Amino acid sequence: MNTVENICYEYAEVVIFSQDVSFNGDPVLIIADVESKYVKELSKFLSNHNYKVSQRKKINEKFSLIRFELVHSSKYDKFFKNKNKDIGE
């Protein structure tokens, strides 16, 4: 388990990580059931790791369901994506 996943489990009751990962192993998509008072902290941490909030649904007064997406892939991801384009994939 990587740092991003560990921190998500510190803040959220339930976390779902996509099976698609970046070159360094970070999940491309994270969905977390977070207590509303921790949303700002978790969002700030994940933004430092190139994630952005793509969707937020307030479940009740205490909890929100947050969807984070990885927005800046590493230079290695970009290299392999372009390499695959060159060979027709």
Tokens representing residue 69 in the block: 């997406």
Q: What is the model's pLDDT at position 63?
A: 94
What are the phi and psi torsion angles at 77 (to 5°)?
-60, -45
Mean pLDDT of 18-44: 92
Q: Output the CA–CA distances (angstroms, integers) from residue 15 to 32, 33, 83, 88, in the order listed.
A: 4, 6, 33, 35
Q: Which domain holds residue 30?
A: 3-86
- In this prediction, residue 16 carries a pLDDT of 96
Q: Please tell me the total count of domains within the chain.
A: 1
pLDDT grade for 3, boundaries at 50, 70 and 90: confident
pTM of the shown model: 0.78
Sign of the C-alpha dihedral, residues 72, 77, 82, 88?
negative
Q: Measure the CA–CA gap between 89 and 67, rounded to whole angstroms.
A: 28
| Token pair 């384009």: residue | 85
What's the pLDDT tens digit per position in 55-76? 999 999 999 999 999 986 655 5
pLDDT band with cut points at 50, 70 and 90 for residue 30:
very high
* pLDDT tens column, 39-48: 999 999 999 9
